């Protein structure tokens, strides 16, 4: 059992990542943490005092969309290179590293975007194993500018067709630069480079574990909350569930959970939440059926963002009314994750605290006068799942596919009705049933159905039908930022489509979406 020791900042070896605006910066942090090293992301503009106070054993400079050649482009704090810390620059980070230390960066004659190959021509402390001299490694490039002259003390370690300084090193000062992105899966052995930097060059011991995080978090919660009461809004998702479990372990009966059933969940999920938390874990839970209220708020809305705001606003109204009935609560437990924290403090600046719409909270009214307790704000999604297992949540709950806060409302383009929701639930249930029965669920990162805003003419039996079409989507991903469609066999898709057509009255056409999401493309739900 976790101890009752006072909450204090536990000592872990730390890596600091300075964010220059790359959409892949979070992936760097994920890879570093996967190797057992704690790290945080801060904007490039933080002061040298903040960097020094952070106590990092090394610094990683991320990529970014700017050009170091342009006036006013982002640069790290003056004095960074006087701290004596190891530094790894990635893409834009490599370029600003070189420019700041006396090298030259120019607009290249050719650009490199996508897969490329790096030849290792010299050894350095960063390269070994797959990255040894004479080897060729696949990487993911994304640059137009390139280094044309190295700063004093640097040498070339790896080259590619479009980047003569693809890997550079100054072993004496422990400065290194990569022109490619080691954090993405498209650089198959990129994590090896990051691990060598954090463990071998920076000397981190890799001792940051989820068991340690659990114990430290419980101590912090107890110190923050004391003997006061906490309410937690359960949404049916993994984040709020793990938040509730962690808080209950820390403060027991001081916690009350409020589950606002918005009527937009998948089939059976509302009953599962109530059974799991109230009956199995004996956590005080208030179940609030709110389908009619949410459907009323969604009436006439077709824009996805308008739907999100309506759902968030309605959630606040329902949640606030239930919180008042409880009386005397001092804290609201929020399932804020580290990506939310990063996004709310972007590399260009921004508000320091944002309650995300996918938590079904659009910002708490000041009149509620509740303080926030956010025990997961240091974790990424995959780390939350690990913590959930550590806390004893059942695997089928912890490992469930991501589900958006607005639920099925954004998987129904156009207006939302009870009939459409029921129709989509039936389709979604069949799709997921077949995925599970074929042993494919854990191989897929996310699978779901979409009710398309079109009707099609079909022939069913001896008559014509004029019914709706649905789309099925399933993707694989290791990071939630890059994804590829899952290659179902035609026989599987045929089986699923046949079941849907036969069992779901109102659907007469099924299509499979093969959209992929490589780095640099737009987001999708």
pLDDT tens, N- to C-terminus, the chain (525 residues): 333 333 334 568 999 999 998 888 988 999 999 999 999 999 999 999 999 999 999 999 999 988 888 888 999 998 999 999 999 999 999 999 999 999 998 876 666 678 899 999 999 999 999 999 999 999 998 877 888 899 999 999 999 988 889 999 999 999 999 999 999 888 999 999 999 999 999 999 988 889 989 999 999 999 999 999 999 998 888 999 999 999 999 999 999 999 999 999 999 999 999 999 998 899 999 999 999 999 999 999 999 899 999 998 999 899 989 988 887 789 999 888 887 777 665 544 433 233 333 343 344 556 667 889 999 998 988 899 999 999 999 998 898 888 888 899 999 999 999 999 999 999 999 999 999 999 999 999 999 999 999 988 877 666 678 899 999 999 988 766 677 899 999 999 999 999 999 999 999 999 998 877 655 443 444
The two structure tokens encoding residue 236: 């049916």
Q: How far apart are CA 467 and CA 461, in angstroms?
A: 14
Can you give the pLDDT at residue 302?
A: 92
- What per-residue confidence (pLDDT) applies to 396? 87
User: Cα torsion for 462, 463, 469, 472, to the nearest 10°?
Assistant: -10
Choose among 410, 434, 444, 437: nearest CA to 424: 410
Residue 348 is predicted with a pLDDT of: 43
Residue 98 is a catalytic residue? no
CA distance 182 to 173: 21
334-348 pLDDT, tens digit per residue, is: 888 887 777 665 544
Residues of 431-467 as b/e, b for ≥16 C-beta within 10 angstroms?
Answer: bbebbeeeeebeebbbbbbbbbeeeeeeeeeeeebeb
In sequence order, what are the residues at sequence separation of 6 or more whose Cβ sits closer than 8 angstroms to the Cβ of residue 266? 403, 407, 408, 425, 428, 429, 432
Structure tokens that stand for 298 in this block? 């969604």
Cβ atoms 317, 308 nearer than 8 A: no
- Structure confidence at residue 108 (pLDDT): 64
Between CA 314 and CA 367 the distance in angstroms is 16
What is the model's pTM? 0.79
What class, spelled out in words, does domain 14-201 have in CATH? alpha beta
Question: Three-state DSSP class for 442?
Answer: helix
Residue that is written with structure tokens 């156009």 in the block: 414
**pLDDT of res. 299:** 95
CATH of 210-398, one of 3.40.50.720, 3.40.80.10, 3.90.79.10, 3.40.50.620: 3.40.50.620
For residue 354, the model assigns a pLDDT of 33
Q: Where in the chain are the domains?
A: 14-201, 210-398, 418-513
Second-level CATH architecture of 418-513 = 2-Layer Sandwich (3.30)
End-to-end Cα separation, the chain, in angstroms: 39
Q: Which of 68, 67, 51 is nearest to 17 (CA)?
A: 51
117 burial (CB, 10 Å; 0-12 / 13-18 / 19+) is: middle
The two domains 14-201 and 418-513 share their CATH topology (first three levels equal): no
- 161 assigned to active site: no
The helix/strand/coil state of 119 is strand
Answer yes or no: are the C-beta atoms of 293 and 313 closer than 8 Å.
no
Tell me, what's the pLDDT at 402? 84
181 is catalytic: yes
Q: Find the catalytic residue in 39, 91, 257, 470.
A: 91
Query: How are beta strands 175-178 and 167-170 bridged, if at all?
Result: antiparallel
φ, ψ of residue 21 to 5 degrees: the values are: 105, 5
| 297 Cβ neighbours under 8 A, 6+ residues apart | 310, 311, 313, 314
E strand residue ranges, 150-240? 155-159, 167-170, 175-178, 230-234
Rounded Cα distance, 179 and 108, in Å: 13
**Choice among 12, 181, 248, 287 that is catalytic:** 181
């Amino acid at each position: 059992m976790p101890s009752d020791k006072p909450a204090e900042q536990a000592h872990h070896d730390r890596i600091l990542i300075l964010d220059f605006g790359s959409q892949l910066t979070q992936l760097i942090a994920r890879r570093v943490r996967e190797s057992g090293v704690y790290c945080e992301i801060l904007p490039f503009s933080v002061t040298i005092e903040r960097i020094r106070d952070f106590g990092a054993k090394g610094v990683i400079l991320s990529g970014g969309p700017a050009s170091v050649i342009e006036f006013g482009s982002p640069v790290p704090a003056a004095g960074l290179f006087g701290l004596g810390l190891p530094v790894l620059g990635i893409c834009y980070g490599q370029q600003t590293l070189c420019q700041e230390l006396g090298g030259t960066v120019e607009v290249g004659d050719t650009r490199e975007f996508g897969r490329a190959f790096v030849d290792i021509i010299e050894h350095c402390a960063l390269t070994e194993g797959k990255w040894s001299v004479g080897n060729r490694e696949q990487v993911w490039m994304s640059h137009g500018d390139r280094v044309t002259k190295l700063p004093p003390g640097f040498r070339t370690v790896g080259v590619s067709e479009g980047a003569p300084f693809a890997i550079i090193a100054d072993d004496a000062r422990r400065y290194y630069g990569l022109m490619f992105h080691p954090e993405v899966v498209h650089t198959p052995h990129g994590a090896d480079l990051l691990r060598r930097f954090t463990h071998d060059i920076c000397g981190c011991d890799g001792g940051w574990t989820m068991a340690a995080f659990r114990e430290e978090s419980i101590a912090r919660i107890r110190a923050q909350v004391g003997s006061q009461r906490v309410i937690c809004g359960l949404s049916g998702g993994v984040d709020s569930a793990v938040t509730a479990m962690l808080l209950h372990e820390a403060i027991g009966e001081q916690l009350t959970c409020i589950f606002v059933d918005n009527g937009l969940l998948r089939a059976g999920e509302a009953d599962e939440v109530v059974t799991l938390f109230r009956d199995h874990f004996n956590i005080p839970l208030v179940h609030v059926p709110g389908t009619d209220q949410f459907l009323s708020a969604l009436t006439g809305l077709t824009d996805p963002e308008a739907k999100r705001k309506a759902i968030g606003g309605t959630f606040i109204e329902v949640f606030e009314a239930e919180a008042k009935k409880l009386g005397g609560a001092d804290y609201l437990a929020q399932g804020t994750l580290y990506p939310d924290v990063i996004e709310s403090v972007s590399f260009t600046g921004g508000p320091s605290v944002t309650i995300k719409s996918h938590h079904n909270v659009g910002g708490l009214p000041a009149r509620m006068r509740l303080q926030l307790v956010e025990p997961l704000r240091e974790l990424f999604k995959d780390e939350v799942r690990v913590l959930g297992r550590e806390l004893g949540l059942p695997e089928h709950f912890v490992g469930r596919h991501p589900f958006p806060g607005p639920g099925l409302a954004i998987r129904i383009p156009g207006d939302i009705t009870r009939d459409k929701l029921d129709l989509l639930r039936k389709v979604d249930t069949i799709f997921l049933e077949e995925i599970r029965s074929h042993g494919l669920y854990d191989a897929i990162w996310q699978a779901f159905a979409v009710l398309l805003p079109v009707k099609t003419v079909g022939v069913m039996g001896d008559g014509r039908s004029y019914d709706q079409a649905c789309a099925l989507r399933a993707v694989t991903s290791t990071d939630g930022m890059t994804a590829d469609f899952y290659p179902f066999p035609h026989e599987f898709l045929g089986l699923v489509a046949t079941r849907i057509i036969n069992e779901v009255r109102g659907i007469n056409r099924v299509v499979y979406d093969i959209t992929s999401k490589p780095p640099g493309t737009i987001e999708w739900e």
